[in-house]
Structure 1
Amino acid sequence: MTAALWILQYGVPADAVDEYIRISDSITIAAFNFFTRSIIATYEVVYLRSPNEADVAKLLQEGEQRRFPGMLESLDCIHWHWNKCPTAQAGAYTGHYHKPTVVLEAVAFYDLWIWHAFFGMRGSLNDITVLDRSHLFAELIRGCAPATNYTMNNHAYTIGYYLVDGIYPRWATIVKTISQPQGTKRQLFVRMQEACRKDVERAFEVL
């Protein structure tokens, strides 16, 4: 267990664990494989997967109740400080935080179900470049994503969307906040959109 966690946390090769734990690299590799397979076997059915049709129906129902028909919850990124970052890689992982970080992209439901997580990108990247590399829309691109049917303002739609902050691009699958909203309607939209986006912020706090 210690060997597996050491490799996962620090990204070191199996033979680097030998000096600390005093076991061979072959046993370390076997322990690492057993640990990761056990995690997948235990949690894959419920957590380590994309939403199925029943999950999407639940997400759409919740979005409807929160006045965002078609919403598939909130998308955001967070930078985690990499305290043990090797000096040779520090430059690539250092961005506007002025210290080495790794980026976690996540989609979280209101009950803290994190059904999408894309972790490990360099801290020098921003949310847009991380999104370009993630697999969030892979099933949608392949045409095998669960059906997302809803009606808004008497128009039928078949693609759900995610609530995001202002840095993200203008895509059909993304609903951004409004910077400097003018008028009562736009201000109300911003308040409600930001309130729903707190789901993913709470998930980051838990992590």
Structure 2
Amino acid sequence: MAYQNLMNNYFNPNSVYNEEDFRSRFRMRRHVFKRLLHDVQHVNLYFRQKLDKAGHLGLSPHQKITIALRMLAYASPVDAMDDTYGMSESTGLDNLTEFCQAVVQLYKEEYLRQPNQADLKWFFSQS
């Protein structure tokens, strides 16, 4: 049910929330989320939906990435993810770790570099 709500609210055609709402809640545009989802799924098998040991479908890639982003963007405690998304505390921590490792692997060269002098000048002019 949590998966269906997530999809109906944010990702299905005619979703409950529009692009502005999505950007406000996810801190990114929907197309950026979709790119991130695609990229992360291709470098880390953890983010593909699988059957659990009982033969039930596990959490979807949308859920896993949404949970990691919510934890990072809002400093949400991992136990809050259990109430909202049905992800246990230990799985939530594993999920966040896998997500961070995948993002570093994917985007390290392009986005996660040491700041240069121009970056530092801009940064300190903003504060």
- TM-score tier by shorter-chain length is 0.3 to 0.5
Q: TM (normalized to structure 2)? A: 0.41
- Structure having the higher helix fraction is 2
Give TM-score, length-normalised by structure 1.
0.26
